[in-house]
Amino acid sequence: MDLGRFYDNEWAEHLKVAEAARSALAEPFAQLLHLSVQAVRAGNKLLFFGNGGSAADAQHLATELAVRYKRDRAPIAAIALTTDSSALTAIGNDLGFDQLFARQVRALGRKGDVAIGISTSGRSANVLRALEAAREIGIVPAALSGGDGGALPGLADPLLMVPSKTTARIQEMHIAVGQMLCGALELELGLVQP
């Protein structure tokens, strides 16, 4: 392997996807921010969920909001549905893995919340079921995805689709746009000064 070439190619692909995502995600990002601000101002919360690396992103983003992003400030109501091992194993065992997040959305979600499913392919059955449950009970069904969005177009709105088919690049953009959401929420809610 030519390490220098590999290294440069990875950076080149990252930068190409980042530039494409910058254009493609601007409008749905603004929509997600607006809906999230409305929810938090109304006393509602953000629910994050996904599998694997997306589960880690869900936990990361919920923590940035509930604790702090850049500076100390009042907490923002956010929770990751990927962290309760007892709930996850009971739901998976008793109801099936595809109900993992939908059951928690029904138990913990309230009309006016924002559910943010994260799926690089847009084909994760448990993320899709959770967004369907969210829609049924009046929760905004939002999602971060990539490529063609899989089964998410028409289900998630807003839908932030990273224009790439490479899982690693999609995940890199998800955490970047997720952290932008944290920073923008702090500012829009007046919790920090620019």
Q: Does any domain span residue 193?
A: no
Q: What is the pTM of this model?
A: 0.96
84 occurs within a structural domain: yes
User: What is the residue-level pLDDT of the chain in tens, covering all 194 positions?
Assistant: 999 999 999 999 999 999 999 999 999 999 999 999 999 999 999 999 999 999 999 999 999 999 999 999 999 999 999 999 999 999 999 999 999 999 999 999 999 999 999 999 999 999 999 999 999 999 999 999 999 999 999 999 999 999 999 999 999 999 999 999 999 999 999 999 98
Q: Report the alpha-carbon distance of residue 127 to residue 144 in Å, rounded.
A: 11
Whether 194 is covered by a domain: the verdict is no
Identify the CATH number of the domain in which residue 85 sits.
3.40.50.10490
Has residue 131 been placed in a domain? yes
- Rounded to 10 deg, the angle between the 26-41 and 167-188 helix axes is 50
How many domains does the chain fold into?
1
Q: Classify residue 16: in a domain, yes or no.
A: yes
Query: Which of 130, 122, 128 minimizes the C-alpha distance to 101?
Result: 130
CB-based contact 105:130 (threshold 8 Å): yes
| Coil, strand or helix at 189 | coil
φ/ψ of residue 146, rounded to 5 = -150, 175
Residue 10's CB: how many other CB atoms inside 10 A? 12
Q: Domain for residue 166, yes or no?
A: yes
Domain that holds residue 147: 3-188
Q: Which secondary-structure segment (H or E) carries 78?
A: strand 78-80
Amino acid code (one letter) for 39: A
